[in-house]
Amino acid sequence: MKTITLKDNQAAIILETSPEGEIHVELALPDETPESDGFVAALCMVIARKLIEDEAFQEDILAEIDE
């Protein structure tokens, strides 16, 4: 497994596929420090939530991949 080191102003969405083809979504967020950027963490959380819950968003993304 690789290690991700985030700067205070970074956040990441980590996607993983299972052998069954399911997509798992994980967030890597900065520590809550005065220097951290809550905006990028919030943005990642919104995108991750849409990936998990919003079927229209999922279809849009899959359509982009299929092209």
Per-residue confidence band for 2, with pLDDT thresholds at 50, 70 and 90: confident
pLDDT tens track for 14-35: 999 999 988 899 988 877 655 5
Q: What range defines the domain where residue 28 resides?
A: 12-66
pTM: predicted TM-score of the whole model, two decimal places: 0.75
With respect to residue 37, please indicate whether it lies within any of the assigned structural domains.
Answer: yes
Q: Under 8 Å CB-to-CB from 58, ≥6 apart: which residues?
A: 51
CA angle centred on 41, ends 44 and 67, rounded to 5°:
15
With respect to residue 35, please indicate whether it lies within any of the assigned structural domains.
Answer: yes
User: Percent of the chain, pLDDT > 90?
Assistant: 40
With respect to residue 1, please indicate whether it lies within any of the assigned structural domains.
Answer: no
With respect to residue 5, please indicate whether it lies within any of the assigned structural domains.
Answer: no
- Rounded-to-integer distance, Cα 65 and Cα 39, Å: 27
With respect to residue 48, please indicate whether it lies within any of the assigned structural domains.
Answer: yes
With respect to residue 22, please indicate whether it lies within any of the assigned structural domains.
Answer: yes
pLDDT for the residue 49: 94
With respect to residue 23, please indicate whether it lies within any of the assigned structural domains.
Answer: yes
Q: How many domains does the chain have?
A: 1
